[in-house]
Structure 1
Amino acid sequence: METNIIITDTHTHLYSEQFDLDRDQMIQRAIDAGVSRFFIPAIDSTCTQAMFDLEKNHPGHVFLMMGLHPTYVKDNYLEELQHVESELAKRKFYAVGEIGIDLFWDKTHLKEQQIAFRKQIQLAKQYKLPIVIHCRDAFDEIFQILEEEKSPELIGIFHCFTGTYEQALQAISYNMKLGIGGVVTFKNGKIDQFLSKIELKHLVLETDSPYLAPIPFRRKRNESSYLVAVVDKLAQIYSLSAIEIAAITTENSKVVFGI
């Protein structure tokens, strides 16, 4: 890929311990491949310092979010939400995320997940920030809260979108972009079958690294440089050049994050 290209990874866990041995080299590989903007979702308070370190070590490339991930909504979730709130009050973040509902692993904290999701949407509105949504086996539950909390100013990303065409249109109706990553390259990923019917202005790129590596890296540790494989797949789907896909999706990311 050409070196003057700018690809944006809107969702990468660069602080993951899976990168502890080669983090700086991995980030440099991505930059060399044209992936030079990294948006970092929060999980819970235990990752906050690692996120700050990343930002300090890679200025101009790393942009932080603040939030409580739904699978980390446990008995102490009110304490964790307080952490989110106090961090948002202290400094600049680029989104509230990743937030949402996940009923894949465990349904016991659904009520608490709903409370946490709603509260964090309200914080996003208060700070005029976009939201980045984690949704797993929970489209109906998430759409219900978005319906109640929607406003013209509320924008964001449906991270790792894996829903149907109808769900894609519904997400877009709430001012959400669709986060497209490795799943679009999977044989059973399904979203590649209808994506061409969705205007490219509604899509942003992401890896969710170290998870969900695209083909041909599937089942390996994912990293941001692999986003090039997602760009190539979208170039096929939309009959555009990789450079056009990179330019349009990076522009879309600027619309969401304001940078």
Structure 2
Amino acid sequence: MIDTHAHLYDPIFKDEIEIHVSDIKAAGVSEVWLPNCDLASWGQLVELANAFPEFALPMIGLHPTYVKENYQIELAALAKILAEQKVLAIGEIGLDYYWDTTYKAEQIHAFETQCHWAMDNKLWIDVHCRKAYSDLLLLLKKSEYANLSGIIHCFSGDAREAKTLVDLGFMLGIGGVITYKNTTLFNDIKEIPLTNIVLETDAPYLTPVPYRGQPNSPKYIPLIAQKLADLYEVSIEELIQITDANANRLKVASGY
């Protein structure tokens, strides 16, 4: 299995990273894709990617909740790194209006700047979107982004938004939320073919049932896979085969 989105470089894992990686591999996870947050997190991320080069694959980007007054300085520094560093994707980038919209305009500008990074480098994008799907769709529908593709990480939109994003060429990242008792997520994605779904954990966040309340780990991705297999009424083997193939198409497209 491929975990397409996990912050395995988070300090919560650092002191016992060898043990964590061993446990994750033992659970059947072959790769963990690492979304970046900002310039400060990049050092920890790339250190992990260099330590486990076939297992932990790096992305680079400025997360929307890290877009503040100095975002242009952050972007310039990350752009310099991108010019020299091989990465899987541009991410995690996007829009987040959940807590605060003070930097809404800056988030949009940062997102579009990084979309151009992706196109210029023939990479895909890993998109964070929270309470901002209307703006995200307006942006991604622009003709200049017609060839962009990627993953909508931790998809949380409605059925119409799910279909629109898939029609635009994006896959939907599904994680621990699918296991929650009161979630409506499956109702919103049930018309989306499995060929447009990838697995993720967003570790150490969004821990699946029955481990909610504890830090999440990529080792829990079998729980997400099994829940999706049950909901789509396929075997877990078929679910894993399809979602891995989806992830690998993106990996091949970025030449990683």
TM-score interval for Structure 1 and Structure 2 normalised by the shorter chain: over 0.9
Q: Secondary structure at the match of 1:217?
A: coil
1:94-138 superposed Cα distances (whole Å, 9 cap, x missing partner): 100000010111110000000000000011000010001000000
How far 1:152 moved relative to its partner?
A: 4.4
Per the alignment, residue 64 of structure 2 pairs with 70
Q: 1:216 to 1:149 in 2, by over 3 A?
A: farther
Which residue of the other structure, out of 109, 116, 138, is the alignment partner of 1:115?
109
Contact 2:162–2:188, Cα closer than 8 Å, also in 1: no
The reply to whether residue 178 of structure 1 matches residue 172 of structure 2 is yes
Q: Secondary structure at the match of 2:129?
A: strand
1:19-50 superposed Cα distances (whole Å, 9 cap, x missing partner): 12322211211111111111100000111111
The reply to whether residue 145 of structure 1 matches residue 139 of structure 2 is yes
CA–CA distance in structure 1, aligned partners of residues 52 and 237 of structure 2: 24
Q: Secondary structure at the match of 2:91?
A: strand
Please tell me the residue identity of whatever aligns with 1:174. L
Per the alignment, residue 52 of structure 2 pairs with 58
Per the alignment, residue 192 of structure 1 pairs with 186
CA–CA distance in structure 2, aligned partners of residues 147 and 193 of structure 1: 24
Aligned-pair RMSD on alpha carbons?
Answer: 1.2
Which residue of the other structure, out of 120, 123, 146, is the alignment partner of 1:126?
120
CA–CA distance in structure 2, aligned partners of residues 149 and 66 of structure 1: 24
Q: 1:150 to 1:231 in 2, by over 3 A?
A: farther
Per the alignment, residue 154 of structure 1 pairs with 148
- TM-score (norm. length: structure 1): 0.94
Q: Which blocks of at least 5 consecutive residues in structure 1 are unaligned? A: 1-6
The reply to whether residue 89 of structure 1 matches residue 83 of structure 2 is yes
1:162-201 superposed Cα distances (whole Å, 9 cap, x missing partner): 1111110011122110000001111122112243321000
Per the alignment, residue 255 of structure 1 pairs with 249
Per the alignment, residue 28 of structure 2 pairs with 34
CA–CA distance in structure 1, aligned partners of residues 181 and 157 of structure 2: 15
Contact 1:9–1:35, Cα closer than 8 Å, also in 2: yes
Of 230-239 and 15-24, more deviation after overlay is shown by 15-24
Contact 1:162–1:191, Cα closer than 8 Å, also in 2: yes
Please tell me the residue identity of whatever aligns with 1:115. H
Per the alignment, residue 239 of structure 1 pairs with 233
Please tell me the residue identity of whatever aligns with 1:94. L
Q: 1:53 to 1:120 in 2, by over 3 A?
A: same
Which residue of the other structure, out of 16, 39, 44, is the alignment partner of 2:10?
16
Which residue of the other structure, out of 217, 223, 244, is the alignment partner of 1:223?
217
- TM-score (norm. length: structure 2): 0.96
CA–CA distance in structure 1, aligned partners of residues 14 and 138 of structure 2: 39
Contact 1:29–1:225, Cα closer than 8 Å, also in 2: yes
Please tell me the residue identity of whatever aligns with 1:208. D
> Runs of at least 4 residues of structure 1 off by over 3 A?
149-152
Contact 1:162–1:189, Cα closer than 8 Å, also in 2: no
Q: Which blocks of at least 5 consecutive residues in structure 2 are unaligned? A: none
Provide the aligned length of Structure 1 versus Structure 2. 253
